[in-house]
């Protein structure tokens, strides 16, 4: 079956109608209500050698950072504060100091930047090298994918497509030949923890997701969850320098936040953006019709949600 | 480096001296103090094809159960109540209904028996098949490995060695030829959630661990943590039928609890055992001298802690 079919099947076995469990389906994290005002966010992401990264151009230090960011970004996507993590490491050979230390240093120091601490894990032998991190976060006000309504504005939190452009270039170029901003987008993405937390605290975002599988696919996930559609304006989409529009629309691993807000809150968002010294980018609107449209000049063109599906397309990572 | 060296190195990067984090080193779970009386337990365990199980004699349904039990047992070892889980599944091929459903059914139904619910996860492509589960549990009174003192009594919660005996037999025998009790020990181990919870609630156990890597090795972990030793009585060690003493001492995957209690609490333990209709087995005593002794008749023999180390020994699973 396809990944989507498997996830649909999984959902039948996920528990939602149970005390404490607020949300477990179609979200970046499982959401657990611990008390009147405290919610736990619970997320996990794995990276497998040859599928999600290639040691030819990825160092163990890069890998530690990437593993932290991919998980932190899921907590950010729900407006949470990441807190504690567990690492599973599978390795064919005994761990060597030469790579074990750079990996664990980079992982834990990236987590620490966001006041997040590794508190344990499991180390196993495995024919292929893989790492899995799970994180617990906390929030008073989880922002779900559910909540977007027609006429609401769509924003993204950073220029898109940098990782996708890097992955295209590395096929034919050496690391040295690739522009620094694309290497940074791929190796040093920044999880949007602070912005996510503020959007939750100020109750500004009506829905939110992190863009890990491409703008169109992740925007479509918001649309599906809310039974709505969206129109986005081509000239408004922020594109990383040296990346193409296609990279921005269908690439992945951007770790940007995509969120919707009510029209009357745009001014508050602008203030927040100024306060945080952090740009946010208006890219379009939610519409009633359950379709995606790309608008250029005055031409409106329907587009299909496309992005990574790792059982079809080798290059990226799954949900 | 050896697994132990890696874990020692990891510990330098694990966080213990931080608000909320009670215990992260040398424990079955990370322990987080959420409020005056509520502690979170946080654990993860992975199973990799060809390392921890073999599809030649393990069905997907068996695998789902085993993954649940190995993680539930870590929560039991700290006296906790397991609550919520996340699954990571890595598969070389698209997931098929024929095995996806038996796996997820068995995993979720085993968890549900202990009121534990799967609330999400990650599905990835991987050259080797692996599964990773992480669980959150809750307790008011976490039982650590730390706490055992000389003269305290050592108990285990079930006959040992069944899984190890099964793994030896399956090398030369067909499934049909192997005694049912050994197959059950390997495929249908029971996590000791109820006993663990009661020992925590009644504050009976001074220290506790689950035996996943063999009695001697796990007992030695308790000893090392407390800078003590132990003497155990050969004739007192409960051995699964058809298993040998060696299986019981150095085998693994027993998922029994090993705990210490004060002499004056033995009567209370007996009452608890009657109330739960659950046998527990006295096997020896904690001693001052930091060594392990096996006593048979009146002969006292020093023994070396031995058990699974998966980077040395292929057959078992790591910590």
Neighbours of B171 (CB within 10 A): 7
The residues near B129 (Cβ < 8 Å, ≥ 6 apart) are B48, B49, B55, B90, B91, B92
Which among A43, A117, A311 is the nearest to B15, CB-wise? A117
Q: Residue B239 gets which letter from DSSP?
A: B
Interior/surface letters A224-248, b for 16+ CB within 10 angstroms, e for the rest: ebbebbbbbbbeebbbbebbeeebb
Strand residues in B241-314 grouped as ranges (E): 256-261, 281-287, 292-296, 299-302
* B38-48/A299-302 β-pairing: unpaired
Q: How far is B172 from chain A (nearest CA, A)?
A: 24
CB contact under 8 A, A310 and B124: yes
d(CA B54, CA B39): 36
Starting at the edge strand found earlier in the chain, the sheet holding B30-35 runs: B21-23, B30-35, B38-48, B130-139, B81-91, B117-125
Ordered structural domains, chain B, with CATH: 3-139 (3.30.1330.10), 153-302 (3.90.650.10)
A·B CB contacts under 8 A: 225
β-partners of residue A209 are A258
Taking only the tens place, the pLDDT of each residue in A227-270 is 999 999 999 999 999 999 999 999 889 999 999 999 999 999 99
B94 and A14 within 8 Å at the Cβ level: the answer is no
Write out residues 46-105 of A within 8 Å (CB-CB) of B. Answer: 46-48, 50-52, 83-84, 86-88, 90, 94-97, 100-101, 104-105
- On whether any CB of chain A is under 8 Å from the CB of B123, the answer is yes
Contacts of B43 in chain A (CB under 8 A): 86, 120
Q: Is the ipTM above a cut-off of 0.85?
A: yes
Whole-prediction pTM:
0.90
Calpha distance B303→B109 (Å, rounded)? 41
Per-residue pLDDT of chain A (319 residues; tens, 9 = 90+): 777 777 777 777 776 556 566 655 567 788 998 888 899 999 999 999 999 999 999 999 999 999 999 999 999 999 999 999 999 999 998 888 899 999 999 999 999 999 999 988 888 999 999 999 999 999 999 999 999 999 999 999 999 999 999 999 999 999 999 999 999 999 999 999 999 999 999 999 999 999 988 999 999 999 999 999 999 999 999 999 999 999 999 988 999 999 999 999 999 999 999 999 999 999 999 999 999 999 998 899 999 887 654 444 333 333 3
Measure in Å the smallest separation between the Cα of A50 and chain B Cα atoms. 8
Contact of A185 with A240, CB cutoff 8 Å:
yes
What is the pLDDT tens value at each position of chain B, 319 positions in all?
Answer: 777 777 777 777 776 656 566 655 567 788 998 888 899 999 999 999 999 999 999 999 999 999 999 999 999 999 999 999 999 999 998 888 899 999 999 999 999 999 999 988 888 999 999 999 999 999 999 999 999 999 999 999 999 999 999 999 999 999 999 999 999 999 999 999 999 999 999 999 999 999 988 999 999 999 999 999 999 999 999 999 999 999 999 988 999 999 999 999 999 999 999 999 999 999 999 999 999 999 998 899 999 887 654 444 333 333 3
Round to whole Å and give the CA distance between B199 and B260.
Answer: 10
CB contact under 8 A, B120 and A24: yes
- Collect all residues of chain B within an 8 Å Cβ-Cβ radius of residue A21: 84, 117, 119
């Amino acid at each position: 079956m396809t990944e989507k079919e498997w996830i649909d099947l999984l959902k039948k076995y996920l528990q939602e109608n149970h005390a404490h469990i607020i949300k477990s389906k179609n979200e970046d994290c499982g959401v657990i209500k611990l008390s009147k005002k405290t919610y736990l966010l619970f997320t996990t992401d794995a990276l497998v050698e040859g599928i999600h990264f290639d040691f030819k151009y990825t160092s163990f230090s890069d890998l530690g950072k990437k593993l932290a960011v991919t998980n932190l970004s899921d907590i950010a996507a729900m407006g949470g504060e990441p807190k504690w993590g567990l690492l599973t490491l599978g390795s064919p050979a005994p761990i060597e100091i030469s790579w074990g230390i750079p990996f664990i240093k980079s992982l834990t120091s990236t987590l620490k930047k966001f006041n997040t601490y590794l508190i344990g894990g499991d180390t196993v032998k495995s024919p292929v090298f893989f790492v899995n991190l799970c994180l617990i976060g906390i929030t008073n006000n989880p922002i779900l994918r559910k909540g977007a309504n027609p006429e609401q504005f769509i924003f993204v939190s950073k220029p898109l497509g940098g990782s996708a452009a890097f992955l295209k270039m590395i096929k034919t170029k050496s690391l040295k030949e690739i522009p620094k901003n694309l290497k940074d987008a791929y190796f040093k993405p920044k999880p949007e923890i602070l912005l996510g937390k503020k959007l939750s605290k100020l109750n500004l975002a009506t829905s939110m997701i992190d863009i890990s599988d491409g703008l169109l696919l992740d925007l479509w996930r918001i649309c599906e969850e809310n039974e709505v559609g969206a129109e986005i304006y081509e000239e408004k989409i922020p594109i990383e320098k040296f990346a193409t529009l296609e990279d921005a629309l269908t690439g992945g691993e951007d770790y940007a936040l995509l969120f919707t807000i009510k029209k009357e809150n745009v001014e508050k968002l602008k203030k927040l953006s100024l306060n945080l010294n952090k740009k946010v980018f208006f890219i379009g609107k939610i519409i009633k019709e359950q379709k995606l449209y790309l608008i250029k000049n005055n031409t409106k063109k329907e587009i299909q949600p496309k992005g990574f599906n790792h059982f079809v397309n080798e290059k990226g990572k799954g949900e």
